[in-house]
Every structure is written in structure tokens, then in C-alpha cells.
Amino acid sequence: MRTLQRLITTCLLLTAGIVILAPQALYSDTKPTILVVRQQQQLFEDFYKILEVELGSYQLHDFILKPKPDYDRFKAEINQRKPQLLILLDNTSIDFAQRYNRKAANPIFAVATMGLNLKHVLQASNFISGVAFEVPIYTSIVALRSISKKPIRRVLTVYRKDEFAAFIADARHQLKREQIILSGFAVDQYMGNSESLNRALKKTLRTRHGKKQFDAIWVMSDNRLMNRNNFRDLWLPKAQELDIPFVCGLKYLAKPDLDFCTFAATPDLKDLGAQIADQVLLILDEGHHPKELGVEYLLSPQFTINKRKAQAIDFEFSVEQEGSIEVVE
């Protein structure tokens, strides 16, 4: 019936002398095509399913990167699908999209998340907006203080200055307003040698530096600093040795059986999916440019306290509002 209506309308317009360049554009049922580029791990699989619900009015295609990502395969997928938009779910996919757009006559708009330090990575990007995946240090530490029965006055972290200087400076400024001091130790000079880096980390990860007593350690989700090679032999023993809470940005690091983080502040994937969907709508339906949107902060974190670990380090806490923080044991 709809096809017949289109044909009749087209004939009437032609009879009236009106030139129709593309009548299918006026009545098209074709959904805009979005290519989601992601890793194969369960976290990305779960988030893709959320996007399918949030973006049901669009045509989503799932493109999974191989363990050794191949740019030519990524480029071929774009040439075949011809998507109107990309959703990029890690730093590798962002790197591929930026590489493609640098050479493309018609760059593709994209929305990114689940990558590391997106405000820094995308600061010079004209075609990619996004939502930062890390819960800000400020949000994590203030949430920890809200349940702690002991004061949280000084926090230690280690970081790479070349990549995270602005991130740490922003957190330091925000925490200062809460009378919390963030002491960040840059380890860039040790990055060229894993043994030197590990020695520097062992020396830095302490409860006290001179007269400075730390109340918590914030662990950056940076696989250049914490990886398979040094987690078991360095980070885990340090978390078991020191009697202050380690605060992480990955929920699985606060699993009781792992015996690592006391507290975790992580993205709420459903709310993150809604944030990404909002940006997609603004770009595809309302004509906004990704550069206008920039990289937003994550709006809805979720918090987890590892009760077993808290008890092991004598970290006393109280969760007054039921459901606001998940307690695992």
C-alpha cells in the first residue's frame, strides 16, 4: 500500500510539472547505518547489546576487531557498509578512525567511549565526539570519603605525565576544593625499561613519603603502568602489604577473591549507552557537528566496596543509603 501511495504521489507531481530528483529521500524507510567498532571481550559485548536497545531506530552493524587489529580490514568494512556514523569502543578503534579520516575525501563522523583518556586523545579531532569512560578521580575519592569512618585527606597516585598531565591537574584542582590533596608521581623517565619502571613503582607505592601520610591510593587504568607482567608480582603484593584502600576504575579489580582494590568507581553501562545515544541523535537527526559536542564527562558512575578487603586493612565504612554503593564480600 505504501509503495502504491508513493507511485501515485510521484505521478501527480510529475503531471504538475514538478521535477522530482529523489522521491525515495522523501519517503525512505531506510534506517541510517551505524558501524560499531569494538573488541571481543564480554564488557564490549554487553555494551553493544545496550546500544542495540538505545539505538533501535538505526541500523547497527557489529564489527569486532581481531586480537591483532588490522587497519585494512577496518577500512574495507567501511567501504562495504558505507556507514553514516561510527561508534568507537576503545583506543584502537579511535586510532583507526582518525587514520581513515586523515586520508578520506569525506571523513566519517564518530562517537567514542570505552577508551583511555579521551579528552586528551580527541582534543585535536574535528570529527569524533564522545563520553569519557573513566570516572573522574574527584568523583571516586569523594564517594570513598562519604562512606569512610576515617578522614581522607591525602591521596597518592602514579601516572604518565606526557599523557595524563591535564587529567591529574584537573583532579588536583577539584579535590583541593574538598580539602583533599592529590599527590601525583610521574614515572615517564622509567617507561623505556620495565625493570626500572617496576622499581620506581615499588618505591613510590607507600603509605608515607617523608612527613606525608596517605589515606588512599588511586590506581589509574593504564596498561602501560599495570599489566599482566607486573600485576601479580608488584601491584597485588603492594595492595596486600599496605593498610590503606586502593581505589580503582574497573569493577573486577574489586572482586573479593582478587584481594586487590577496596573501592571501585566504574561506569554504569546503561546510562553510558543513553549518553552515547544522545550524541548519535544530535549528530544524525539534528545535524550537530561532533566538534560542537566534544568529550563529555561520564554522568552516572556506580560504586563498589569490597567488604572483605576493607576488613583486612581495618578500613571502617558505613553505607547509609541502601543501593547507592554495592557491597561485595
Q: CB within 8 A of 225, min separation 6: which ones?
A: 158, 159, 160, 187, 197, 201
Torsion over CA of 88, 132, 186 and 259, rounded to 10 degrees? -90
- At residue 3, the pLDDT reads 37
pLDDT at position 26, please?
38
What residue ranges do the domains of the chain occupy? 31-133+269-300, 137-248
Which amino acid does the sequence have at 139?
Answer: T
Nearest to 236 by CA among 263, 259, 208, 212: 259
pLDDT in tens, 137-196: 999 999 999 999 999 999 999 999 998 998 999 999 999 999 999 999 999 999 999 999
Please provide the CATH number assigned to the domain covering 137-248.
3.40.50.2300
Q: Which cell is 285 given?
A: 537527526
Q: Residues with Cβ < 8 Å from 291, sequence gap 6 or more?
A: 125, 126, 127, 129
pTM of this structure: 0.81
pLDDT in the model for residue 322 = 57
- Ordered strands of the 110-112 beta sheet: 59-64, 33-38, 85-88, 110-112, 128-131, 295-296
Within a 10 A sphere around the Cβ of 49, how many other Cβ atoms?
13
pLDDT of amino acid 8: 41
Block residue for cell numbers 522521491: 23
| Per-residue pLDDT at 152 | 96
Helix axes 71-81, 91-103, angle to 10 degrees: 70
Topology, domain 31-133+269-300:
Rossmann fold (3.40.50)
